[in-house]
Amino acid sequence: MLDIAPWKRILILLVTLIGIGLAVPNLFYGRVEAHNDAISAAEKAGFATPEQKAAEAGWPGFLPSTLINLGLDLRGGAHLLGEVHVQEVYKSRMNSLWPELRRVLSEARDQVGAVRRVPSPEGTLAVEIGNPDQMARAVELARTLAVPVASISGAGQTDLAITAEGNRLIVTLSEAERVATDDRTMQQSLEIIRRRVDEVGTREPTIVRQGKDRILIQVPGIGSAAELKSLIGTTAKLTFHPVVGRGTDPNARPGIGNILVPSLDEKGVFYTLEETAVVTGEDLTDARPSFDQNGQPAVEFRFGPSGAKRFGAFTAANVGQPFAIVLDNQVISAPVIREAIPTGSGQISGSMNIDQSTQLAVLLRAGALPAQMTFLEERTIGPELGQDSIDAGRLAAIIGTVGVIAYIVASYGLFGVFASIAVSVNVILILGIMSLMGATLTLPGIAGIVLTVGTAVDANVIIYERIREELRKGRRVGPSISTGFQEAMSAIIDANITTFIAALVMFFLGSGPVKGFAVTLTIGLVTSVFTAIFLTRLMIAVWYERTRPKQLIL
């Protein structure tokens, strides 16, 4: 058991050295982080500023530069709890359904008579027909627009609930479709928020759904909750509408199917627009900051194939007519169509600076939130609180490690020293693997490391006690050590497998603090088995080969 092949010795040392090398950058966290940020910013911009070059030179490029991401409780940052107004999507669905319903009913005008939309509660589409005695025919035609609900719970049901009230046709989303729509809205909101946060380069955000219509957002390293709100809370909803009229009366009635929207740059001017947009920001494939023909900051955008086709067809059919570019319910531009625009690309310009054009491009690329979000809870966690947590965790780790080392050395002498070295290397390997994975270290994660330090010597204790038993039987030192390692192997593996299963369950089913604890515990179990069975055995084998002791006091 002590005859370790040379290639195995080299492999054990190599794994240990690689782990130590991966952990070293965390000793110079600020320098390495500035180095990584400078490289990332230069790659995005296509060039490096003098400051970025200086930061990049602060850490040698040939050394590992991966770091452990610090969680919100260690790094500081912002915490938000938002509520998504999913009901807004119902209204949008009904508005988009109206043109199709009008077309279907108009094609049967000789039966149902004249068709017009009448006021109705939000999320409801009410249509008045000229021949009430043909209401059954109108309902039949409207039902041709219904499609099956795209969810398992809604199997066999359609997305529209259609009823008749006198001479009015009432259309709403069915209950099954509302449930499916709510779920899609939340999933879309989660994805868009994640994209927006990722665009600005923050590290390891926590963005999870809570309950039916709430989203928890925790972003380490961001300046304040207000800064995070400005990034996430901005809708950045871009739409293109036909212009019906222009005036200065803010109380003007736009008419059924139209909306009244203020101008961003023209004070006191209001545009009457068709409510149904020709194309929306969802059709965009790219948006980037640029400059207009006057050298002022602007944003260039490009539609995908379907959006470009609709945009091209609309501009071709409306040459000489104005159309409005609407951003977050404000008309930012209302140019006259000079010629068809088949390429599906354009430019947004106006009163904005370079930072605003960059931010708008980020928001447009990430997409518009499908519904408004209200923030119910917001907290800013300062970095000094995170530093206090780091200091407290470091102190706990040091005290725990020193206590364990003192006990193991007092109990097993020189073999206790070998076990202590293995425990120290074990902690370093945990940090190295977490750096390689880009894992996030939280305060519960530090607790997991401290626990790992306390339990990492369990394997050594089992091995050493088995060696003691063999020595008591009068066996020689070499065979006693070999038997101790061999007989303890199954017990060590069984004990760690059961704990490993529990850690995996916490990782996959837990969230937040539980998951952070499970990450370090899982990694620690793997590294502790490696250091106890392989590294400790290698140190003992080298010591035995050099000293060849006749007796061993353990």
Phi-psi region of 113 (alpha: psi -120 to 50; beta: other; left: phi over 0): left
- pLDDT, residue 349, reads 67
From residue 1, give the alpha-carbon distance in Å to each of 466, 491, 534: 14, 17, 11
- Domain residues of the chain, as ranges? 6-27+63-74+383-547, 87-175, 237-348
- DSSP assignment of 103-168, as one string? HHHHHTHHHH--EEEE---TT-EEEEES-GGGHHHHHHHHHTT--B-SSSTTTT-BSEEEEEETTE
- pLDDT, residue 236, reads 58
- Assign a CATH topology to domain 6-27+63-74+383-547: Multidrug efflux transporter AcrB transmembrane fold (1.20.1640)
Look up the CATH number of domain 237-348: 3.30.1360.200
- pLDDT, residue 384, reads 60
C-alpha radius of gyration, the chain, whole number: 33
DSSP H helices in 144-253: 175-199, 225-232
As a whole number of angstroms, the distance between CA 447 and CA 524 comes to 12
Q: What CATH number does domain 87-175 carry, 3.30.980, 3.40.50, 2.40.50, 1.10.3470? A: 3.30.980
Question: Nearest to residue 283, comparing CAs of 217, 233, 237?
Answer: 237
Query: What are the residues whose beta carbons fall under 8 Å from the beta carbon of 238, sequence distance 6 or more?
Result: 280, 281, 284, 301, 325, 326, 327, 348, 364, 368
25: burial class by Cβ within 10 Å (0-12, 13-18, 19+)?
A: buried
Nearest 10 degrees: CA dihedral of 171, 172, 176, 178? 150
Q: Which helix (H) or strand (E) holds 460?
A: helix 458-472
As a whole number of angstroms, the distance between CA 322 and CA 273 comes to 10
394: burial class by Cβ within 10 Å (0-12, 13-18, 19+)?
A: exposed
Length of the chain: 554
Question: Nearest to residue 304, comparing CAs of 273, 266, 334, 344?
Answer: 344
User: How does pLDDT run along the chain (554 residues), one tens digit per residue?
Assistant: 567 888 999 999 999 999 999 999 999 988 898 888 888 777 766 677 788 888 888 899 888 988 888 877 777 788 889 898 888 888 888 887 888 888 888 888 888 888 888 888 888 999 998 888 888 888 888 888 888 886 666 667 888 888 888 888 999 998 888 888 888 888 878 877 887 777 665 556 788 888 888 998 888 877 778 878 877 765 557 788 888 888 888 888 888 788 898 987 778 889 999 888 888 777 777 777 777 777 778 777 777 777 788 888 888 888 888 888 887 778 877 777 777 777 777 776 666 677 667 766 766 665 667 778 888 888 887 666 566 766 776 787 788 778 888 888 888 989 999 999 998 899 899 999 999 988 888 878 888 887 787 777 888 888 898 898 888 888 888 888 888 888 888 888 888 888 888 888 888 877 667 777 888 888 988 898 899 889 999 999 999 888 888 887 76
Q: Per the structure block, which two tokens stand in for 428?
A: 């370093």
407 contacts 492 by C-beta, under 8 angstroms: no
Residue entry with tokens 């850690």: 503
Q: Which residues of 441-475 are buried (b: 16+ CB within 10 A; e: fewer)?
A: bbbbbbbbbbebbebbbbbbbbbbebbeebbeeee
Tally of CA atoms within 13 A in the half-sphere of 306 that contains its CB: 5
pLDDT, tens digit (0-9, with 9 covering 90-100), for 254-297: 887 888 989 877 788 899 998 888 887 777 777 777 777 777 78
